[in-house]
Structure 1
Amino acid sequence: MTLLKLTEVDTFYGGIQALKGITIDVEEGEIVTLIGSNGAGKSTTLKSISGQAPVKAGSIVYKGTHITKFPPHQTARLGIAHVPEGRKIFPKMTVKENLTIGAFSLSNKKVIEENMTRVLTYFPRLKERLTQKGGTMSGGEQQMLAIGRALMMNPTMLMLDEPSMGLAPIIVEQIFEIIMELNKNGMTILLVEQNAYQALQIAHRGYVIQTGEIILQGKGSELIHNEKIKEAYLA
């Protein structure tokens, strides 16, 4: 079943066109990755979906609902969780406070407590640091906190923007293991990642974006062996 579909989406920043007729779809239960160079339009695609970048043309449909013009709080309430590039945690707030904010759209205290338990099961390191200020943690811990905060809202789709950026290889491996575990447990994931090799290894399908346009798509296992992809992104 198609969970998310973008059709001929154009997005502008002022007079600059960042996306030029982007068409992608994400099936329920998939990991789909967007790869491309800096400035290609990967982050803008996620921002267009979550309502942070205004779409000028085309359509975005999520679970049968047209969300093209929805603001971020409405897309979040529909079950789309967006973990932005750079984590964007609240550095002066504790780990527990950061996680609790993630459940802003929920009112049932029991559900919030259950979500907290589940998040801390995925990220036992956060459990050890519940009273620690977010800004005092390592980059890897902050990334775990950013993902955990997104999971607190019970999303049906998790969008991750450069989760491995700036992290040590061993932490990157841990983050990707968690992404695979989340997917195994039923989470649909749309992943933006400059580490194309790592992303394509775990993705069911992938799209390659270049200057705001999709230039190639296919199964992750196929793209990882594509000579053009190897030359441009896996060298």
Structure 2
Amino acid sequence: MSLLQLQEVQAYYGGIHALKGITLHVNEGEIVTLIGSNGAGKSTALKSICGQVKTKGSILFNGKDISACPPHQTALDGIAHVPEGRRIFPRLTVKENLEMGAFSVKDKKVIKERMEQSFDYFPRLKERLNQAGGTMSGGEQQMLAIARALMMKPKLLLLDEPSMGLAPVIVDQIFEIIQELNLKGMTILLVEQNAYHALQIAHRGYVIQTGEIILEDDAKLLLVNNLVKEAYLAG
């Protein structure tokens, strides 16, 4: 059984029909990527899973229907969302941001252990522990956003445009960390405009266009698909 299943999911922003009945699934232990152009519905798909957007259709997580669950409940159920633009708390320190990620954990020892585990992936954050998040570089803020999501020990990690606005060398580092997380058992749904990078590390991929899934395949096959190459890999 898939960890996550979306069946004919529709979503609206006022009169805008953002998702037009998308169907996709993510198996446990996979990296699945959702690629497409700006405005295609990629971020809306993640927000729908998290309960940030009202939807029609079926969203099942671990066999449970979460389509009507509010965001705090989907987080408690084991879904962590790293939104586009990072959205860290800029005035809080790195330490305080990480503690916010573990909002439902009462045991301070567990919080400390999880923080140390985050530093295994992101040693630079340990060096910045008492620094305000908003004063760090874009790459460091992205690392903090992912580390904060990991503080909940999620079953599923939703990543929305993790490479956006970052220097190429930092992008490479972020994608290496995503792969490392997956190798250690993390299931990941990755939304990414950098289709080449995303398909390089993903197991499977979906192509979304104007709110509809138009292609689904093994990531390696999507890399050589003519439509994908012309639309998303050119240059």
Q: Indicate the TM-score class for this superposition, using the shorter chain for normalisation.
A: over 0.9
Aligned to 1:216: 215
**Structure 2 SS opposite 1:2:** coil
Aligned to 1:158: 157
**Structure 2 SS opposite 1:48:** helix
**Structure 1 SS opposite 2:75:** helix
Q: Deviations over 1:213-234 (max 9, x none)?
A: 0000000000000011000000
Q: Look up the equivalent residue of 1:74 and give its one-letter code.
A: Q
Post-superposition, which runs of at least 4 consecutive aligned residues in structure 1 deviate over 3 A? none
Q: Deviations over 1:112-144 (max 9, x none)?
A: 111111001110000000000000000000000
Normalising by structure 1, what TM-score? Answer: 0.99
Q: Look up the equivalent residue of 2:218 and give its one-letter code.
A: K
Aligned to 1:39: 39
Q: Deviations over 1:180-220 (max 9, x none)?
A: 00000000000000000000000000000000000000000
Q: Look up the equivalent residue of 1:169 and give its one-letter code.
A: P
Give 1:44 deviation, angstroms. Answer: 0.1
Aligned to 1:2: 2
- Name the CA distance, whole Å, in 2 between partners of 1:129 and 1:157: 27
1:135-154 alignment runs, 5 A limit: 135-154=134-153
Give 1:108 deviation, angstroms. Answer: 2.2
1:1-235 alignment runs, 5 A limit: 1-55=1-55, 57-235=56-234
Give 1:109 deviation, angstroms. Answer: 2.1
Count of aligned positions: 234
Q: Deviations over 1:127-164 (max 9, x none)?
A: 00000000000000000000000000110110000000
- Name the CA distance, whole Å, in 2 between partners of 1:42 and 1:23: 13
State the percentage of identical aligned residues.
Answer: 72
- Name the CA distance, whole Å, in 1 between partners of 2:73 and 2:4: 15
- Name the CA distance, whole Å, in 2 between partners of 1:133 and 1:60: 37
Root-mean-square deviation over aligned CA pairs: 0.6
Consecutive unaligned residues of structure 2, counting only runs of 5 or more, are none
